Homo-oligomer: A and B are copies of this chain.
Amino acid sequence: MNEIKDQSIQIFLDELASKNATPGGGSVAALMGAQSAALTSMMCNLTIGKPRYAEVEAEMQTLLQKSEALRKTLTDMIKADVDVFNRLMATYSLPKTTDEEKTARSEAIQSVLKEATEVPLNCARACAEAIALSRIAADKGNSGVVSDAGVAVLAGYGGLKSAALNVYTNAAALKDRAFADAKLAELEAILKGVDKGVEEVYKIVKAKL
């Protein structure tokens, strides 16, 4: 199969809707984040070079570099979610007849579950960065297209809260509670203040329309 990012949007949506386990919500979270970063890039590209925005030119150049790097990271995460999910499913299929097999299977599941907790945690972190970047675009970018910064913040928020659900799901299945609690604490730190921050950006955007 082609990597998801090389599939058409129609085929991605068809496969999403199907009863196949992948792609699923984790890929949608990453794609929402990637769309957020792309819209911030668009805001930069529609600001850079405009005489009216000469004062923020350098800042927009820096923002564009960050949003483009982040877009690549988040686009790669569409696949990362599928990969770790498939590996997790494979461990569940390991033999479990003898006691040795049962132990080996359980250890394999727990090992991949740790990765399956970290993948959406990384996605959440990247989406939080996408939100932060969209705020700069909303504040300083071309006000003629500021609604795109508003969509960027909402897409980033959707991605972040979606990724969080997958962290909760996989952390709940972990036996290593110290590891799980550490990851959940990282997630809560990422989520802290985000609701309020997103609302603020939305208001900044709406006031400029």
Which residues of A are interface residues toward B (Cβ below 8 A)?
4-10, 12-14, 16-19, 21, 24-25, 28-29, 31-32, 34-35, 37-39, 41-42, 45-46, 67-68, 71, 75, 78, 145, 147-148, 150-152, 154-155, 157-158, 161-162, 165-166, 168-169, 172, 202, 205-206, 209
Contact = CB atoms under 8 A, between A and B. Distances in A.
Contacts of A145: 21, 24
Report copies per complex. Answer: 2
Given A35-B13, A38-B16, A78-B9, A25 B162 contact: no
A145 B26 CA distance: 12
A24 B46 CA distance: 12
Contact of A71 (B17, B29, B169, B206): B17
B31 A165 contact: no
Contacts of A17: 37-39, 41-42, 45, 67-68, 71
Contact of A151 (B6, B25, B75, B147): B25
Given A209-B169, A209-B172, A6 B8 contact: yes
Contact of A9 (B5, B19, B39, B150): B5
Contacts of A166: 147
Nearest to A172: B209
Q: Which 7 A-B pairs have the closest CB atoms?
A: A25-B151, A158-B158, A17-B41, A19-B45, A16-B38, A17-B38, A151-B162
A13 B71 contact: yes
A7 B8 contact: yes
B161 A154 contact: yes
